[in-house]
Structure 1
Amino acid sequence: MTFVVVAVVAPFTGQNQSAGDIVIGIIGCLAIAALFWWLRGRTDPEAQFRSKSKQRQAKRIKVPDNYTAIDIETTGLDTSTARIIELGAVRIRHGKPVAKFSQLVNPGFPIPADSIRVTGITDKDVRRAPDSTKALRRFLAFIGHDTLIGHNIDAFDMPIIRNEAKRDGLKPPTNQTIDTLSIARHIWPGERNRLVDVIRRLGIAKTESHRAESDAMQTAQTFEAMKRL
């Protein structure tokens, strides 16, 4: 850098040079110095490492210890028409369950046979249960503003819950969600990653009950186990 300064300034330090020439020489010197400083930053391995480190930190997703795991049972699998027949949730604080929510819901029409076969929930079970408006209002009060964890929550549970809320004149929830199905697909690509597959793989349980509160608890256990992988 010293050589560069001398090379630029020297031609303008003679006695016959005007003040303007000297100023121009100094400006040129500063410009070249700035160029060298910029190039040094571009080629400094430590500077590149620090930049990449900051990028990694910016992209890192904070894994919550406080959240609510949820699950629903429905009259079908079509998110545009399915109605909720059971709501379940487990509130987690510091990785441990502290409160549970379970509510059967009367959909207002006979439960399809396929749904009865999977869930075991019958018309008799929901006959005295509250309608979706009352049940969903209680559910939304329970989950509050918590981050919600669910298995296939983004493609199934939340679209149905939001549809029910809109249908009942309630404000649809806008909680942040984390989908354990997406996480499982990332950890075990190419494998079957239904909730029952994942809980067996992680040694949590051998079967999935297809009841909302129980499945919500297994989802929370799944999330906690995957955090340790």
Structure 2
Amino acid sequence: MTWHRELLVGFDLETTGTDPYEARIVTGAVIEVRDGERLGHREWLADPGVEIPADAVAVHGITNERAAAEGGAPDRVADELADVLTGYWRAGVPVVAYNAAFDLTLLGAELRRHGLPSLRDRLTGQDVGPDAGQDTGQDTGQEPGGPVPSPVIDPYTIDREVDRYRRGKRNLEAVCAEYGVALESAHDASADALAAARLAIAIAGRHPKVAALGPAELHRRQIEWYAAWAADFQAFLRRKGTPDAVVDGTWPLREPVEQGV
């Protein structure tokens, strides 16, 4: 049986902004899906500790008043989300996130901001404190900071690769419409997480070559596909008059050592 018929975990964050290094978590959701059917479901609401801008409230509907009254502490929410996700990765269960590089990088920045163990540290069982994610300079035989969370399945990255020349938007709502996947309430974390998982299944159903890849190999391919897309987009921007444009091709997680988080 191929991966899209097995257990998948949809993941999504709604946030205070669009910069993954600066934005804060407002809501998060993790939903178990098997063969398109929704199983387990967990949801978080955070009081982000900063004002939620009006344009962000207009997107996801969580007001500052509600977040302050009902939301959990931001460090606790980030810690719980990270523990849940790493539990699935340790079990070999793919985590599906639409535009995973945004959500995982933002979660990583939140962990770093609060001095909590990074996703990589959790995967290696390291109990670290304020220096979480920092490079110690020691040769551990692993990538700096530990293993990258995997397997991750990103319908955004996969769709761009398998249908490169399709015109139109590539946001979750548009791509769900392309594949006939219902999106009940766009920019609700639970709805988006469920739709992302079902979208991954739909893409695999339309593209047998994607379905035939094992989760580990699909993860590796997405690293390559994302890097190639970033290089092409960077070249395009430079041709169009932005000579110093830089598009980060790292996927699915960026954890800069020096970043104003």
Whether TM exceeds 0.5 here: the answer is yes
Corresponding residue of 2:186: 209
CA contact (8 A) 1:208 1:215 kept: yes
Higher relative contact order (CA 8 A, sep 6+): 2
Written as runs of structure 1 = structure 2, the 5 A alignment for 1:133-144 is: 133-143=75-85, 144=87
RMSD: 1.9
Residue 118 of structure 2: which of 141, 148, 172 is its match? 172
Superposition pairs of residues 30-179 of structure 1, within 5 angstroms: 63=3, 65-93=6-34, 96-127=37-68, 128-143=70-85, 144=87, 145=89, 146-154=93-101, 156-174=102-120, 175-176=149-150, 177-179=152-154
User: In the alignment, is the contact (CA less than 8 A) between 1:66 and 1:95 conserved in 2?
Assistant: no
1:188 is displaced (CA, Å) by: 2.2
Q: Show structure 1 runs of 4+ deviating over 3 A.
A: 93-96
1:189 aligns with 2:164: yes
Q: Is the 8 A contact 1:195 1:208 kept in 2?
A: no
- Aligned counterparts of 1:102 and 1:207: Cα–Cα separation in 2: 16
Residue 173 of structure 1, CA deviation: 1.7
3-state SS in 1 of match to 2:28: strand
| Residue 94 of structure 1: how far off its partner (Å) | 5.4
TM-score by length of structure 2 reads: 0.59
The normalised TM-score by structure 1 is 0.67
Change (3 A) 1:115 1:90: same
2:250 corresponding residue in structure 1: none
Between stretches 88-97 and 195-204, larger displacement belongs to 88-97
Secondary structure, aligned partner of 1:182: helix
Distance in 2 between residues matched to 1:149 and 1:198, nearest whole Å:
15
Letter in 1 for 2:84: F
Q: Which amino acid aligns with 1:116?
A: V
Max radius of gyration: which structure? 1
Aligned residues: 167
Aligned partners of 2:114 and 2:32: how far apart in 1? 25
Percent of residue pairs bearing the same amino acid type: 26
